[in-house]
Amino acid sequence: MTRRRWIADSWDATSAVLTGERAAHLSRVLRARAGQQFEIVAGEQVRLGRIESVSDEQVVFALGEKIDAVPALPMCVLLSVFKFDRFEWAVEKLTGLGVAEIQPVIAARTDAHLAASALKRTERWRRIVVEASQQSRRSAAAVVHDPIPLKSAVCLKASGKILLAETEKQTSLMAVLESLASSEADADSRMYLSLAVGPEGGWSEPELQLFDANGWRRAMLGATILRAETAAIAAAAVTAAWFFPW
C-alpha cells in the first residue's frame, strides 16, 4: 500500500511538524497513532517519517531515510483571473500536473469584481495547492504568487515564453516547444518556461502587442475555442508529456 504524503509546516534535520487543519485531520479523522509511518516533504527533501506524538494541534514526526523525489515541471503558468470556482479547479489540476509556479494575472478582460477580490483569495489558493500537492505525491508544493497586473507579468524572466492565443491559427504548442528546445540546446542551459493563459473573452489586441514586444511566442492548442481552465490544463498536460516522456 502506498504511504500517504504530507508537506511539513516546519522541520529540522531530524524532525518535522504538521499543524492546524492537517494535524487535526490526522488526529481526528485518520486517528493516527505514534509509530505510524508516512512520507514527509521537508524542504527540498522527501523523507520517511515516523509519528512521535499526535494531538489536534500538531503531529510530530521523526525523520528517517530519504525517498526519491520527482522534479516539478519547470514552468510558471500565468493564469488570468476568471470565475473563482473554475479558477480554483484549474489551480488544483495544474498542481496535480506538476507545474512549479502559478502566477495569477489581472488582464484587461478580467471582471472588475474578481480583480478586486483576487488578493483576498490567494491564501485559499495556496491551501488548495498544498492539499493537491500532497494528494498527487509531489516533492514540494507549487508556488502560488500574489496576483499582479499583466504589464508586470509579461516582464517575468524565463528561457521560453509561450502565449496561448485563440487568434493563432498556424503554430501549435508542440511546435513552439520543439523550437525552444532547439534554441536552448544551443545555449547549453536548462529550459524554464512561462505559459500565459488568457481570461474569458481572450486577450485584448493591446495585450497581444504587449506580449509580442516582450518576446512571447504565440501558440494554439487546436481548432476549437477552449474555456480558460481547459486551455490551462491541456497546455500543462502537453508540456508535461513533452518534458517527461515516461
Question: Where in the sequence is the domain holding 212, given as residue range(s)?
Answer: 73-243
pLDDT band at 175 (very low <50, low <70, confident <90, very high): very high
Q: Distance between CA atoms of 62 and 51, rounded to whole angstroms?
A: 6
pLDDT band at 187 (very low <50, low <70, confident <90, very high): very low
Give Cα separations from 38 to 44, 105, 215 (angstroms).
17, 36, 45
The DSSP call for residue 220 is: B
Average pLDDT of the segment spanning 42-52: 90
Instruction: CATH number of the domain at 101, please.
Output: 3.40.1280.10
Q: Which of 189, 163, 187 is nearest to 176 (CA)?
A: 163
Q: Distance between CA atoms of 60 and 11, rounded to whole angstroms?
A: 9
Residues 44 and 81 in one domain: no
pLDDT band at 245 (very low <50, low <70, confident <90, very high): low
Q: Would the pLDDT of 211 be above 50?
A: yes
pLDDT in tens, 11-28: 898 999 999 888 998 889
Q: Distance between CA atoms of 201 and 83, rounded to whole angstroms?
A: 12
Instruction: Round to the nearest angstrom and report the end-to-end CA distance of the chain.
Output: 22
Q: Would the pLDDT of 183 be above 80?
A: no
Percent of the chain with pLDDT over 90: 69
The reported pLDDT for the residue numbered 1 is: 59
Identify whether the C-beta of residue 82 lies closer than 8 Å to the C-beta of residue 200: yes
Instruction: CATH number of the domain at 41, please.
Output: 2.40.240.20
Residue whose C-alpha cell reads 510530530 in the numeric block: 60
Last residue of a domain, one of 52, 67, 82: 67
pLDDT in tens, 75-120: 999 999 999 999 999 999 999 999 999 999 999 999 999 999 999 9
Residues 99 and 167 in one domain: yes
Can you give the three-state secondary structure of 111-179, one letter per residue?
Answer: CHHHHHHHHHHHHHHHHHHHHHHHHCCCCCCCEECCCEEHHHHCCCCCCEEEEECCCCCCCEHHHHHHH
Q: Distance between CA atoms of 175 and 219, rounded to whole angstroms?
A: 8
Q: Would the pLDDT of 188 be above 60?
A: no
Q: Which of 64, 27, 24, 66 is nearest to 45 (CA)?
A: 66
3-state secondary structure of 89: helix
The reported pLDDT for the residue numbered 200 is: 87
Residues 58 and 22 in one domain: yes
pLDDT in tens, 115-126: 999 999 999 999
Average pLDDT of the segment spanning 46-60: 92
Q: Distance between CA atoms of 8 and 120, rounded to whole angstroms?
A: 24
Residue 37 host element (H or E):
strand 37-42
Residues 103 and 219 in one domain: yes
Mean pLDDT, the chain, rounded, equals 91
pLDDT in tens, 116-163: 999 999 999 999 999 999 999 998 899 999 999 999 999 988 889 999
pLDDT band at 189 (very low <50, low <70, confident <90, very high): low
Identify whether the C-beta of residue 69 lies closer than 8 Å to the C-beta of residue 217: no
Give Cα separations from 239 to 75, 98, 182, 187, 229 (angstroms).
9, 10, 15, 20, 15
